[in-house]
């Protein structure tokens, strides 16, 4: 069970991305999760998953061991990353692993 399935057992990650960012991934849930995981840090991924799971910002901040302002800043950073062409194109074409992999991941 991956992190997404832990916090969002009844919802597909592609549906959540399509609703929030208006990006329609061209791949199944596991591949979409892999692309998102490749482009976000661990903290960002955990924050994204919990936010999409409907967790309050206070709970997210507690899990990430930060204050609420730090969690809000992280949410803004995640939103910026989802607007970047690198991530949006990777989601649209299911992230050809060799071409757009972020160094160090």
pLDDT tens across 50-66, in order?
999 999 999 999 999 99
| In the chain, domain spans | 3-94
Rounded to the nearest integer, the mean pLDDT of the chain is: 88
Burial of 72 (0-12, 13-18, 19+ CB in 10 A): middle
Give dist(CA 54, CA 73) in Å, integer: 17
* Mean local confidence (pLDDT), 25-40: 90
pTM of the full structure: 0.84
Half-sphere exposure of 6 (CA within 13 A, CB side): 10
Tell me the pLDDT tens digit for each residue of 65-101.
999 999 999 999 999 999 999 999 999 887 555 444 4
Yes or no: say if 32 and 25 are a contact pair by the CB < 8 Å rule.
yes
Task: Provide the pLDDT for residue 95.
Answer: 54
**Helical pair 68-83 and 42-52, crossing angle rounded to 10 deg:** 90
């Amino acid at each position: 069970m991956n992190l997404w399935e832990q916090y969002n057992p009844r919802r597909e990650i592609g549906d959540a991305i399509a609703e929030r960012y208006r990006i329609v991934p061209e791949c199944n849930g596991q591949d979409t999760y892999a692309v998102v995981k490749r482009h976000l840090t661990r903290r960002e991924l955990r924050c994204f998953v919990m936010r999409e799971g409907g967790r309050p910002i206070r709970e997210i901040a507690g899990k990430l061991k930060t204050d609420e302002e730090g969690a809000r800043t992280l949410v803004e950073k995640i939103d910026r990353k989802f607007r970047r062409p690198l991530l949006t194109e990777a989601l649209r074409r299911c992230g050809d692993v060799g071409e757009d992999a972020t160094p160090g991941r």
